[in-house]
Structure 1
Amino acid sequence: MSDQQPPKWALRIWAERERRGWSKHEMARQLMRAAGLSYGNVVNLARQIYDWEKGKHFPRDWSRAYATAFDTTVEKLFGVPDPIQRAVDLAGTLEDSATSDDWYDMERRRLLELLALSLGAGGLASSGEPIRQLLDIVLMSEDRSAEDWELACVDHLHALRTRPPIQVRDGLLIDLLALQRQLKKADTKDLPDLNRSAAGLSLILANALTRLGNHAAAIHWWRTAKAAADASGDLNLRLLIRAEEAGCALYGQRDISTVLALVDKARALASGPSSYWYADLAGTRAKALTLLGRHDEAKQELRTYVTHAGNEGPSTVIPTIWCPDQTHFAESWVYAAAGDEAKADAARTQVLAYNGDYQYLANVHLHEAICTVAQGGIDRGTQQATAILDALPTTHRSAMITETGKIVLRTVPFDQRDRPAVQDLRATLTATAPHTTALH
């Protein structure tokens, strides 16, 4: 290679590293961080970086970590498509008119396509463990009990709250494929429990895709989750899926009028205004009305939510999905947007005390910035938001955090949006959005 020009991708990763002033050892640390690895051999990885930048080898196992570290996409950085994104799109874009038989007939082809794509990319992760699991599904995967599938839902929800959404998405694909295989040959008596698990896993995947800004695929998975929940006959689960769908839709996924329609349609399934789910949906309605600037109506819905939702939700296939900070989060959002600093601060303190989902923590701090701007502190509020977004680890960037940052921006009066602090926030929102957002 010494007499030949390195390929364009090799020059590109060298130039991106140099532009950031990173040594090869620092590049190795950044790659491990982007891959979600808490430890590794920095020296050995730095040697590989040297070879990659010379074009001696293609960083097959590390291409997605490179893209994350440089805040771009695999396709833009290396000139090749991201196989995992292609697999997600394939799994999430079945025609609405497809029957259950159509779904099962497509299973083996889709499974083998995903396997081929993953092998071509060096696996879903550098360890190769997801490839082993995929082969298990194709060759010899054993059926799991209803309890095992419920545990899988709990585990994936924990991952969603604590790990990068890309890792969550990739892990969910493995279990969804295994569950699909089991559904195809299940006895009729086992179908309700398996459909409950399918609904739970699909819910978590739709949420992860929302965090990645892949809204089109997320909407497809919400449809799948609703269909599975309806097939299970579990009313609480049917309402949970619809409540979560409406809640995620608030983050730029759908028009606010559509969110309100989703809430009204879900409420029609609930057993009247005294039910838990009627109250829970009132929280989503309060947030939607807040986004429309209808603060008095939002506070009225918020009171319904806080007063009647209770201390815990009904039992579902994901028993850990309800957290006590959810009502306080809604209070923080609604009161902050209305400029009620005292009530917003009190609610935010409650959310932070639970130290839960990293996304909740970032967004509740952004609520404080919204309140500051709403009270007239434009420079201070937008600077707060910029600092919060800048401090986010790359792996925790989420379209749902980005969208909350955009609310800060929209709170600024039109005639004040040319201020330097506002322009800085706008630039930071673009720079810190998850890279998958730009693809869809």
Structure 2
Amino acid sequence: MPTSPLRPIQLPAGFWLRADVAAALIARDISTLFQILRRHGCSQRQIGAAVDISQSHISLIMRGERRVATHDVLTRIGNGLNMPDHARTQLGLSITQRASDIQPHASYTIHNVPSTMDVERPGADPSIVDASSPAMNRLDRIRSESAPAIGMLRTTLADTSSLARPSRDFRDGAAGLPSDPAQSGFEEDGHEVRRRDFMRVLTGLTVGTPPLVRLEALRQSIGHTMGAEGDVWNSIADDYAYAFYTTRYDILGEQLAADLSIVQQLLISHPDDRDLTRAGASLSMIMAIVLTSTGQTWMARRWWRTARQAADKSGDMGIRVMTRSQETVKGLYDGRPLANVLALADETIELAGKRVCPGLAGVLAGRAQALAISGRPDEAEQAVNALSRLTDRMPDSALIDDSMFGWPEHRLRHTESFVYTEIGATGRAMDAQDRALRLYTDNQAGNRAMVQMHRVSCLIQKRHLDDGVRYAAGVLDALPVIKHDQLLYEVARRAVAAVPDKEQGRAEIDQLRDRISTLPNQGASA
């Protein structure tokens, strides 16, 4: 005999720990939640009886034609489904708020209306709003596209152009949201709404997520409670810009993934926060560099695209130029066509205009290197000269900043070394190498090794083949395995390519070529 549709809902153990359930709760995507319940044998009538919503309206919600919009209805759903405390926090509910704490609705009437402004509702809030309204369509895109990305590297901050950008103050009617806070479903002022959403997101992230994400979410929630807001995420990005040179790639990538997961969730609640979006662009850029450095070039290109989109959305010209600058230089090492690298460089130079900044210096350096590899020596040398003139005009703050956001002198010398080596001006190249090697600190072993590989190429071009091969082997032996990366190996491969054809078959050349064919295990000990 069929089970009665009004039989109380019984869910399997672990239901509220499922990743798809957690994503739906954090996004407040009740349509998806009800669909998951349906797949677990719950009828629409059972769900409706449990949460005190009619079966016809349950059907509309599941089809995406209506959307639950208010806190009291979400509370009824949480109570009716007997959600455990961690699920309630993911949905943004207090763990102490039960049915006795809210006013039950005498009826549940929804009118088919074109916008949230015209919904008739008990009290001040709509119970359910028409899902076709412009504001809810935007919010739906934010939640449906962003929430499933929790903990996934590739989709963190993905397609930021789809994020809505309502005003900071929910009461000012910007971005198509209702100007009346009662009509928007928020009775608190804008600050309290954002604060509540911030805490809901961070609390939700402490459940069912990787340990680093949970730890950072806890730290952020404590800092927010104490009022530690402002530019904290840009400070975190600055820390990464320094840590890049001293931290193993596997550790750096894991830490970045944790922070990007949190930034991605915060952007759902704060899509108009330009500082947060700028930080997301910086962190995405550094993730792209890590992926490029570890040879994961196909994934890196996706992150470069995300970094550019987030930078553009932030409106910050400095980070817009910097993300493209870094991509131009790193594009020389990820196998992309040189024509594409040069096109990106020209686009970035036009974008930067007359700014004097590290980002413009970086893109001039990348352009000079691309021209040298392309066999255009005169243009490459002109580009290096333009870079030198720009460096002379660089503010002291940029020249002493040894992070990836600065432009210390050794970057100019590195560029000169690269370009002069490629165009065969070995004397000037070796002079630039000497100057760069004197400037590098102990923390810049990877950059030092790259310049030393330029010297290998110079030695080979000067027909000191044996010396060059021995020098290359010594560079690789001296550098800890965890510092070996795609950038160094690409420079080494170009040095080997300089060996005359008649010498290419020598055993020591084959041995060196084999050694730089694939990256070693990045998790190996030093």
| TM-score tier (shorter) | 0.5 to 0.7
- Stretches of structure 2 lacking an aligned partner (at least 5 in a row): 1-148, 165-196
**Which stretches in structure 1 are left out of the alignment for 5+ residues?**
1-86, 124-129
* Alignment partner of 2:417 out of 311, 332, 337: 332
Q: Which one of the candidate residues 417, 423, 432 is aligned to 1:347?
A: 432
Of 156, 164, 167, the residue aligned with 2:251 is 167
Q: How many residues align?
A: 332
Q: Which amino acid aligns with 2:424?
A: G
Q: Tell me the distance in 2 between the aligned counterparts of 1:136 and 1:183.
A: 17
Letter of the structure 2 residue corresponding to residue 237 of structure 1: I
2:515 aligned partner: 428
| Shift of residue 275, structure 1, vs aligned partner | 8.0
The whole-number CA distance in structure 1 between the counterparts of 2:517 and 2:417 is: 25
1:49-68 Cα deviation digits (max 9, x unpaired): xxxxxxxxxxxxxxxxxxxx
After TM superposition, list the pairs within 5 Å mapping 1:24-173 onto structure 2. Answer: 90-93=152-155, 99-100=162-163, 118=210, 130=212, 132-133=214-215, 136=218, 142=224, 145-173=229-257
Deviations 1:223-259 (A, max 9, x none): 1111111111111211111011111111134222221
Partner AA of 1:425 in structure 2: L
**Cα RMSD over matched residues?**
3.6
Whole-Å separation in 2 of the counterparts to 1:132 and 1:138:
10
Per-residue CA deviation, residues 132-180 of structure 1 (Å, 9 max, x unaligned), is: 5166389878486343222211211221111211111111112212222
- 2:342, 2:299 → 1: CA distance? 21
Equivalent-residue separation in structure 2 for 1:400 and 1:132 (angstroms): 33
Match of 1:269 in 2: 351
Shift of 1:411: 1.6
Amino acid at match of 1:325: H
1:211 corresponds, among 257, 276, 293, to 293
Q: Residues of 2 paired with 1:300 and 1:88: CA distance?
A: 47
**Max Rg structure:** 2
For 1:263-302, what aligned pairs fall within 5 Å after superposition? 263-271=345-353, 280-302=362-384
Cα pair 1:199 1:229 within 8 Å, conserved = yes
Q: Partners of 1:379 and 1:409 in 2: how far apart?
A: 12
Question: TM-score, normalised on structure 2?
Answer: 0.56
Q: 1:403 aligns with which of 490, 500, 518?
A: 490
In structure 2, C-alpha distance between the alignment counterparts of 1:255 and 1:114, rounded to whole Å: 44
Cα distance 1:295–1:378, how it changes in 2: closer, same or farther (>3 A)?
Answer: farther
Structure 1 contact 369–385 (Cα < 8 Å) conserved:
yes
* CA 1:222–1:146: 2 relative to 1, 3 Å: farther
Whole-angstrom CA distance in 1 between matches of 2:231 and 2:327 = 25
Q: How does 1:226-265 map to 2 (within 5 A)?
A: 226-265=308-347
The letter for the 1-side match of 2:513 is R
In the alignment, structure 1 residue 418 sits paired with structure 2 residue 505: yes
Give the Cα–Cα distance (whole angstroms) in 2 for the partners of residues 382 and 113 of structure 1: 52
TM-score computed with the length of structure 1 as normaliser: 0.66
**Paired residue for 2:260?**
176
Amino acid of the structure 1 residue aligned with 2:507: P
Say if 2:284 and 2:307, in contact at 8 Å, map to a contact too: yes
Which position in structure 1 is the counterpart of 2:76?
none
Q: Which residue of 2 aligns with 1:387?
A: 474
Greater helix content: 1
Letter in 2 for 1:100: L
Percentage of pairs with the same residue: 27
Instruction: Write the distance in 2 (CA, Å) between the matches of 1:205 and 1:267.
Output: 23
Cα offset, 1:315, TM superposition: 8.2
Change in CA separation of 1:408 and 1:167 when aligned onto 2, cut-off 3 Å: same
The AA in structure 1 aligned to 2:421 is: A
